[in-house]
Structure 1
Amino acid sequence: MKLIKRSIFLWSFFMACGFTNAQDVKDTSFKDAFKGKFYIGVALNRWQSNGSNPEEQKLIKAEFNSISPENDMKWENIHPSKDTYNFEHADAYVKTGKQMDMFIIGHTLLWHSQTPDWVFKDDQGNLLTRDALLKRLEDHINTVVGRYKGVIKGWDVVNEALNEDGTLRKSKWYNILGDDYIVKAFEYAHAADPDAELYYNDYNLYKKEKRAGAVKIVNQLKAKGVPIKAVGEQGHYSLTGPAISEVESTLQDFIKAGVNVNITELDISVLPDKGASTTADVSNNAAYKKELDPYTDGLPKDIEKKLADSYQSLFKLFMKYENKIDRVTFWGLSDRNTWLNNWPIRGRTNYPLPFNRDLSAKTQVKEAILKAAK
């Protein structure tokens, strides 16, 4: 009797989703489910970009139609010293994107983190003047954007420039260049490739105060006649938040400001976050405790169900605003290499993505996301 009831339940579920059987769910990709709605993207690490694992490459090509680089276009990797550019890994990433016919994203041109100290200093070790740093920034953007002009379709021009209260972070960029450094970066990027989409990208924009700071950036750019296509809400969420109403307010406020929205770094942590503040700042960290790492032997089905419900709620919301959302990108391919295994607490076992460590789909999660596409 239990088996019959389960069969009836599964048949009803798949019919409600618009699928006729479980094989249809397995065979339906994310990119096909959301075709004509928005791009479904994934962030690639270096080994995925260079094709070290054919199984991963097969999954990337099958499920996604947009890619972002996790680290290989950040300043410390692509421009490690004053007179040295290293395009080896960035070129491999772009080559992979072209071969797979992806909408290719560049990430990121200006960030306070993962930027070498030499960028801000002259040959004697003194801090650069405003004019000298602007010239260095312009040269960097011209070189990097110019190399991939017409191939990389969208750039995260500035990343994480805001404090949690919406004020500008007092980074070295800000301290040397002043309030208009974001405008200057966008101007340089637009000049380097006038056809590329330009974005501002940040985390925790579901917080009203921080979001107001991002809207101010959008308004500042528009007042200067500098194009900005979309704001990226990173989407580093958890099972406990944010509320869907907060995410919806985020979408609404940016739409009112006259830009589209990208969900750029989506993942949902299933682990307790006690001991670490709710921020995606890479400098955030906390001490390891066994009670904060409860699922080392596998993800319980009831927790996977909560994860599936969270993803479904989000994607239903994204579908509601499909005309103003250009892209939803998962920050990582699978649980085996998610950054959340080591952040904000090193050594934990997290399960934030739709694909398991063995690259199989989390059944409940994928079904839930596909259902939201209907």
Structure 2
Amino acid sequence: MRVSVAAFAATLLITGTAAAQPASAHPNPVPLRTLAAGTGVRIGTAVDMAALAADTTYRGTTAREFNSVTAENVMKWESVEPTRGTYDWGPADDLVRYARAHGQAVRGHTLVWHNQLPGWLTAGVADGSIDSAELRTILRNHITKEVKRYKGRIYQWDVVNEVFEEDGSLRESIWLRRLGPSYIEDAFRWAHAADPKAKLFLNDYNVEGVNAKSTAYYELAKRLRAAKIPVQGFGIQGHLAIQYGFPGQVAENLARFEKLGMQTAFTEVDVRMILPVDEAKLATQATYFRGLLDACVQARRCTSFTVWGFSDKYSWVPGVFGGEGAATLMDEGFVRKPAFTAVGEGLAEGR
């Protein structure tokens, strides 16, 4: 599929050509990105590059509705360096060009994570051929190379992703085991050196409200900022499910990070439900999207609200959560759900 993406980059993606969408995709003529103007919040989506290349409705909707985009997968380490020393920047470059052609900002995702690492790296650590000293050098080189490549073209980077467990303890990973907890501050220093103007974020799930996990991030951020480490943002993923209730103290959670002088952002929002779909579930879903959006719009320093895909046609949820789905703003036919309307109304009222 990467070949087809590259082919489109030379024509459709760069020129911005997009086919007209069905009327069902546009019951409201005002795009979300227009409604977001004046709120101080960019409205964004994760982008599936294969869908962007192959699906004209997906491509046109991405351009029309959003002024910020995040690579769903193509900036992750396993994608950009599948073989040691051999890089495949094509799909990530395609997204950056597409965003520029459509007046969109780009969020970088993600530099340090325990998942989606290239096989050569995990195998080398496992068999001892990559020792701790070499691993640190490899990590530094990866961060530096990727951030420098997109210097000046990415406004926010998720530098360190999902480093805490639910109880607030540091997550076991090759980074913690081999490098110790200092890898977190090192990653921020290296990213900042590579692009001093990009805002650098911590990022995780189940940290919407005040709880043990979000408090661990708060204490980490406070400690690192006191040590002059360039930790500048806290990213809240926002993967919710209506059967578990809406998280408490979301506004209070944002406020305490902002009091540290940090930006905040909702970075991967979707709201899944147990299937089948019905009107009551869709109505509840809409209130969850609106609840997170309102917290962002009303916060002093929440700068972006990104949904993790906008159509159920390309959602990751059914493949991970059995019997659940319908987690995005549009159904598989790109028809807007009540959640889409709720987000639009929230943006309009937040101006």
Aligned equivalents of 2:96 and 2:86: distance in 1?
20
Give the match for residue 203 of structure 1. Answer: 205
Where in structure 1 do 4 or more consecutive aligned residues deviate above 6 Å? none
The answer on 1:232 being equivalent to 2:235 is: yes
- Say whether the 8 Å CA contact 2:234–2:265 is kept in structure 1: yes
CA distance in 2, matches of 1:304, 1:166: 32
Matched, 1:335 2:337: no
Determine helix, strand or coil for the equivalent of 2:268: strand
Give 1:365's aligned residue. 339
* Paired position in structure 2 for 1:353: 328
Q: 1:304 is matched with which residue: 266, 276, 282?
A: 282
Q: Give the distance between the partners of 2:278 and 2:155, measured in 1 at CA.
A: 40
- For residue 287 of structure 1, what is the aligned residue in structure 2? none
1:157-214 residue CA offsets vs partner (Å, 9 max, x unmatched): 1110111111111211011111110000111111111111111110111351101111
Work out the CA distance in 1 between the residues paired with 2:105 and 2:320: 28
SS at match of 1:55: helix
In the alignment, structure 1 residue 267 sits paired with structure 2 residue 270: yes
Name 2:69's counterpart in structure 1. 67
3-state SS in 2 of match to 1:27: coil
Please say if 1:35 is aligned against 2:37. yes
Report how far residue 121 of structure 1 moved.
6.1
Per the alignment, do residues 242 and 224 of structure 1 end up closer, same or farther by CA in structure 2, a change over 3 Å counting? farther
User: Hey, what's the Cα distance between the residues in 2 that align with 1:146 and 1:58?
Assistant: 30
Q: Deviations over 1:216-240 (max 9, x none)?
A: 2212321331222211010001213
d(CA) in 1 for partners of 2:154, 2:339: 30
Q: Give the RMSD, CA atoms, in angstroms.
A: 2.2
Comparing 117-126 and 173-182, the one that deviates more:
117-126
Q: Secondary structure at the match of 1:262?
A: strand
Encode CA deviations 1:18-45: one digit per residue, 9 max, x unaligned.
xxxxx99701221111212200000001
Q: 5+ residue gaps in structure 2?
A: 1-24
Q: Which residue is 2:261 aligned to? A: 258
Aligned to 2:147: 145
User: Does the 8 Å contact 1:120/1:133 carry over to 2?
Assistant: no
Amino acid in the other structure paired with 2:309: G
* Aligned partner letter, 1:217: L
User: What's the CA shift string for 1:252-302, capped at 9, x where partnerless?
Assistant: 23223331211000001121xxxxxxxxxxxxxxxxxxxxxx41xxx3222
Query: Residues 120 and 128 of structure 1 are in contact (CA less than 8 Å); yes or no, is this contact kept in structure 2?
Result: no
Q: State the one-letter code of the partner of 2:237.
A: Q
Q: Tell me, in whole angstroms, the C-alpha distance in 1 between the residues paired with 2:76 and 2:225.
A: 26
The Cα of 1:86 is off from its aligned counterpart by 1.0
In structure 2, the CA distance between the partners of 1:166 and 1:257, relative to structure 1 (3 Å rule), is: farther
Q: Is the 8 A contact 1:44 1:333 kept in 2?
A: no
User: Contact 1:128/1:176 (CA < 8 Å) preserved in 2?
Assistant: no
The AA in structure 2 aligned to 1:229 is: Q
Does structure 2 retain, via aligned residues, the 8 Å contact 1:25–1:367?
Answer: no
Partners of 1:150 and 1:196 within 8 A in 2: yes
User: TM-score scaled by structure 1?
Assistant: 0.81
Letter in 2 for 1:230: G
Task: Specify the alignment match of 2:172 in structure 1.
Answer: 170
CA gap 1:107/1:353 in 2 versus in 1, 3 angstroms: same
User: Match for residue 12 of structure 1?
Assistant: none
| Identity of matched residues, % | 30
TM-score of the superposition, structure 2-length normalised? Answer: 0.86
CA spacing shift, 1:190–1:241, aligned 2, 3 Å: same
| Contact 1:244 1:314 survives alignment (8 Å) | no
Q: Does the CA contact (< 8 Å) of 2:311 and 2:332 recur in 1?
A: yes
Structure 1 residue runs of 5 or longer lacking an equivalent are: 1-22, 272-293
Partner of 1:277: none
- Count, aligned residues: 322
Q: Cα gap change, 1:193/1:349 in structure 2, threshold over 3 Å: closer, same or farther? A: same
The alpha-carbon deviation at position 127 of structure 1 amounts to 5.3
Structure having the higher Rg: 1
Provide the rounded CA distance (Å) in 2 between the counterparts of 1:305 and 1:318: 20
Correspondence for 1:116: 118
Picking from 94, 105, 108, the partner of 2:107 is 105
